[in-house]
Structure 1
């Protein structure tokens, strides 16, 4: 198992993972991710913000990061965190707790950048994801109502209730 930056050649596989995630989200009646354009994903890859866990040459899991997230984190966004978005697991490999690998990687990555926090969010009152993220060491900071969503992806436009999670790297996790 290895964490690597995604490559442009991974985009078709990433899109297939997103399609599978959308199917699962619809089946579970969750907030559904929009279709992400090839150019959108390529930009994230070109900026070294798309990551993957590879097992036997297969993308087991992927996610993207940002270094600011003011629309979701407001005044808490002080250039002191990395923000994880769109964690997506290969449907054939679900249940393997890749979140633990992502957390280990994110802690090291954030520390190397001099950041204090690793943060992520999820939309709606998804109790299973709240439990999943807290079991991986994140503190659940509660739900906030998003007000400024114009610059966020489409799924943030319809669902404004946002659960926020944080790992404080200055506290032993």
Structure 2
């Protein structure tokens, strides 16, 4: 049975192994890829209960983070009440199971319960297959943006552009 629950500090090694597996996949299929994440960022996400895991038979199949602000990417739209989904990574054994659709359904319920009007996410631009998948999951494609330079963003944002996606609730 699939469950979506908060990640715990005990999950951190598995979380980083999923990020590494995701990075290796990105290097094969995308122009832009993750360049590692600061452990303190992930520990903060866990402590603030913003890093979630999808369990299948007690195994971590997928992880994702959420936030309620994303000003360096969403700029003036960041003022809108929104939930932002970041860093979706699926265990290689579980790829192809449509977890983004489950995340979207979960995010719809979570956003409504927390008074948000939008679900938003971004991905490195230039990956049409991924863009089309996100649209098939219910997102509207809003175009491409160059994030504002900031040391608060992970390293992969320092190069290239990002494609923006949104669901209005």
Residue pairs, 1:50-61, within 5 angstroms = 50-61=51-62
Summarize deviations over 1:12-50 as a string: whole Å, max 9, x none: 001110111111111224312122233221111001110
Which residues in structure 2 correspond to 1:36-47 (within 5 Å)? 36-47=37-48
Write out the 4+ residue segments of structure 1 that deviate beyond 4 Å after TM superposition: none
Which residue matches 1:107?
Answer: 108
Name the SS of the counterpart of 1:36 in structure 2.
coil
Q: The residue matched to 1:77 in structure 2 has which SS?
A: helix
- Cα RMSD between the aligned structures? 1.2
Structure 1 position 82, deviation (Å): 0.5
The alignment's TM-score, normalised by the length of structure 1, stands at 0.93
Alpha-carbon separation, structure 2, partners of 1:141 and 1:81: 15
Gaps of 5+ in 1: none
Q: Between Structure 1 and Structure 2, how many residues are aligned?
A: 168
Aligned to 1:163: 163
**Could you tell me how far apart the structure 2 residues matched to 1:77 and 1:39 are?**
24
* Unmatched 5+ stretches in structure 2: none
Q: How does 1:58-137 map to 2 (within 5 A)?
A: 58-137=59-138
Q: Is the Cα contact below 8 Å between 2:149 and 2:158 reproduced in 1?
A: no
Asked which structure has the greater RCO (Cα within 8 Å, sep 6+), the reply is 2
* Alignment-derived partner of residue 154 in structure 1: 155
Query: What is the TM-score of this pair, normalised by structure 2?
Result: 0.95
Q: Secondary structure at the match of 1:95?
A: coil
Q: How much has 1:79 moved relative to structure 2?
A: 4.6
CA offsets 1:112-165 (integer angstroms, 9 cap, x no match): 000000000011211011101000000001112223343211000012x11100
